[in-house]
Amino acid sequence: EKGGYEHYMRKEIHEQPTALRQALSGRIDLDRAGVDLDLEFPQGCLESLEEIQLVACGTSYYASQYAAQLLEEVADVRATVEIASEYEFDGGRDPWRTLVIAVTQSGETADTLGAIRRAAGAGARTLAVTNTLGSSVTREADDTLFIRAGPEIGVAATKTFVSQVATLALLAVDIGRGRGTLSTADARDLLGDLRGLPGAVQQVLDEEDRVLKAAREFRDSESFFFVGRRFGYPVALEGALKLKEISYDHAEGFAAGELKHGPLALVTDKTPVLAVLTDGTRAGETMNNVTEAQTRGAPAIGAVSAGLETGSLDIGLEVPNVGIFEPLVANVYFQLFAYHVANLKGRSIDKPRNLAKSVTVE
């Protein structure tokens, strides 16, 4: 059932190219540089939006942070993200010009269901982005977009993260084209990068032995810091969450620029820094922050865009060129790193202590 893998998590990490192909399948029309998502919103509704609010928890929240940046950049629509358990919606001036998107793999997360109910109650349009047919969120929301990742058994979300972002990227293209804010040429570039994503992820999976080596080298560290900027920031947060969940080691993610505003006090030679150093995420500035940590003795591991020059890293892991999606590919290195650190320690990877796959209490 685990298809020869010792854990579902590793199987699901390796399923990412397939999951991505499924998310994109039949949805991209390169001729008109558009996408077809089969949404049933009334004609013109997405075009007249003033704001998109994404609500989610945990890994889905980090996917939403990535997606909000995509929506702003690609579709030029105001997009905000909120942790579902913190979300209050007062309706604003024109609730019907607000789209609230609940991003939830399981479709059963109580905090996320509560948030979307509050939004719907105040008159906003609602969209569910989920992996699960027939789940509660699909009944609560006006419309549903499936991420089509296939079942995810491991408690730690892996393939669904990348599928959520890819699906929301399609939505960003749809909205950008509908509003006329995304040009044909830019849409084609973006869709081309998106179609390159499964292959890019596969290339990273083929480097697994190098990640295993890094995990062996750093498994006994005191703490792990993940840093990135722009799209690399939610990926840093996600990298840290994955590691702490399954290895039980302390890990934290930071906006790279924040290191010097406090966390640097924690940095020693026992606190490796893992950095997203990809094109379009201000990698030069991120590298400056990494160098400051290195000066205090911290080992540095970087996921670096192919062809990008950085300063010296202890371990450099190459990320194939797929534009705005490169941090998503970097994330695959972080998933493998978390997996191997946890596996070397003999942790209960598919069912970490104290955690459940879907959290149905608020």
Strands (E), 36-97: 51-56, 78-83
Tell which positions 125-144 bind ligand F6R, by CB under 6 A: none
188, 212, 236, 193: which is closest to 342 by C-alpha? 212
Q: Tell whether residue 149 is a contact of ligand F6R (CB under 6 A).
A: no
347, 3, 335, 17: which is closest to 195 by C-alpha? 17
Stretch that binds ligand F6R, among 102-110, 174-182, 206-214, 275-283 (CB under 6 A): 102-110
Q: Tell whether residue 358 is a contact of ligand F6R (CB under 6 A).
A: yes
Residue count at the site for ligand F6R (CB under 6 A)? 15
Stretch that binds ligand F6R, among 17-25, 87-95, 99-107, 315-323 (CB under 6 A): 99-107
Stretch that binds ligand F6R, among 103-111, 114-122, 202-210, 310-318 (CB under 6 A): 103-111
| Alpha-carbon distance values, 124 to 78, 117, 121 (Å) | 15, 10, 7
Site string for ligand F6R, 240-259 (x = CB under 6 A): -x---x--------------
- Determine what percent of the chain falls in helix, strand and coil, rounding each to the nearest 5: 50, 15, 35
Q: Tell whether residue 106 is a contact of ligand F6R (CB under 6 A).
A: yes
CA-CA distance, 124 to 97, in Å (whole number)?
7
Site string for ligand F6R, 46-75 (x = CB under 6 A): -----------xxxx---------------
- The 8-class DSSP code of residue 202 comes to H
Q: Binding ligand F6R by CB under 6 A: which of 65, 69, 98, 109? A: 109
Q: Which is nearer to ligand F6R, 37 or 156 (CB)?
A: 156
Q: Tell whether residue 153 is a contact of ligand F6R (CB under 6 A).
A: no
CA-CA distance, 302 to 316, in Å (whole number)?
5
Stretch that binds ligand F6R, among 11-19, 98-106, 165-173, 316-324 (CB under 6 A): 98-106
211, 227, 321: which is closest to 272 by C-alpha? 227
235, 229, 234: which is closest to 279 by C-alpha? 229
HSE on the CB side for 92, CA within 13 Å? 18
Residue 159 annotated in active site? no
Q: Tell whether residue 104 is a contact of ligand F6R (CB under 6 A).
A: yes
User: Over the Cα atoms of the chain, what is R_g?
Assistant: 20
Work out how close the CB of 359 gets to ligand F6R at its nearest, in angstroms, rounded to a whole number: 5
Q: Tell whether residue 163 is a contact of ligand F6R (CB under 6 A).
A: no
Which residues form the interface with ligand F6R (CB under 6 A)? 57-60, 104-106, 109, 112, 156-157, 241, 245, 358-359
